[in-house]
Amino acid sequence: MRRLLAAAAAAALVVVPLAPQSASATAVEAGPGLRPAVVEARTIGHSVQGRPIRAWRLGEPGKRRIVLVSTMHGDEPHTRTILETLRDGRPVRGVDLWVVPTYNPDGLARGTRRNARGVDLNRNFPHRWADLDGSYESGPRPGSEPETRAVMAFLEEVRPRRVVSFHQPLHGVDTDTKDRGFARRLARALRLPRTSLDCGGLCHGTMTMWFNHRFRGAALTVEYGTRPSRHRMAVQAPRQLLGVLGAHRARR
């Protein structure tokens, strides 16, 4: 019975070639009972302990490309529900959307901010990296962690117009960023206050800083509170996000 189930699951995966073909595994998850919104799925890398880091493509390739990232810190688990809901619902129209629900799978498994080597992944990027210790341990050098390198390579390849990085628990949208107009619209749509996230002077080597420095697109940070309701994460926020991105769900 187990062999039959495994064979059926494998048969439901339709392999789609890329141009150029990515080194990562690429597949569409489609068919009855699977994920109709997903047009491409990749393992973009692995954590220190070998857990896969997965990226899911939704929407319509060729439209404006957006990347959403969550759970960079393992003790901030709630916002990944937003991205998983987008992934697991009806097809998305009007945007080329990638979601990375769990950036730090080792930290999530341990319930800790940092990865399995004790590094804060949001202090490990090359732009304005500094040697930090304690809760913000930045690693022995810029880009030292496999999770960081995986996300850097992924963003280098897909080159999105915008990146939204979801965190907790500071409750606000950082409007002191590259595209302030979009940040203000996002804050209004998500019903979060506008804020300036200066990390208490310890904003070194963050993903959004690195992306904003390196690419034409714009990256920003969204912070929810400590314990946002499941209804907000699974129902309200996905709908609000699609609205501000100019996207919508396909009709049944």
Asked if 125 and 206 touch (Cβ cutoff 8 Å), the reply is yes
pLDDT at 184 over 90: yes
pLDDT at 200 over 80: no
User: What is the DSSP code (8-state) at residue 192?
Assistant: -
Percent of the chain having pLDDT more than 90? 80
Domain assignment present for 31: yes
Size of the chain in residues: 252
Specify whether the backbone of 35 is left (phi greater than 0), alpha (psi in -120 to 50) or beta: beta
Q: What integer pLDDT is reported at residue 167 of this predicted model?
A: 97
Domain assignment present for 242: yes
- Which range has the worst mean pLDDT, 4-18, 130-144, 172-186, 224-238? 4-18
Domain assignment present for 1: no
Element (H, E) at 41: strand 38-46
Domain assignment present for 68: yes
Binned at pLDDT 50, 70 and 90, residue 68 comes out as: very high
Per the structure, the count of domains in the chain is: 1
pLDDT at 18 over 60: no
Q: What integer pLDDT is reported at residue 182 of this predicted model?
A: 96
Domain assignment present for 202: yes
| Tokens matching residue 17 | 């070639």
- pTM of structure: 0.87
pLDDT at 23 over 80: no
Which CATH number goes with the domain that contains 237?
3.40.630.10
SS3 state at 240? helix
Q: What integer pLDDT is reported at residue 33 of this predicted model?
A: 52
Domain assignment present for 16: no
The parent domain of residue 116 ranges over 22-247
- Which range has the worst mean pLDDT, 14-28, 137-151, 181-195? 14-28
pLDDT at 46 over 50: yes
Mean pLDDT of the chain: 88
Binned at pLDDT 50, 70 and 90, residue 77 comes out as: very high
Mean pLDDT value of segment 22-36: 54
pLDDT digits (tens, 9 = 90+) for 132-162: 999 899 999 999 999 999 999 999 999 999 9
Binned at pLDDT 50, 70 and 90, residue 16 comes out as: very low
Asked if 48 and 79 touch (Cβ cutoff 8 Å), the reply is no
pLDDT at 1 over 60: no
Mean pLDDT value of segment 87-104: 98
The better pLDDT of the pair 20, 34 is held by: 34
Asked if 241 and 190 touch (Cβ cutoff 8 Å), the reply is yes
Binned at pLDDT 50, 70 and 90, residue 176 comes out as: confident
Domain assignment present for 192: yes
SS3 state at 14? strand
Give the Cα separation of 201 and 194 in Å (integer): 19
Mean pLDDT value of segment 114-127: 97
Domain assignment present for 210: yes
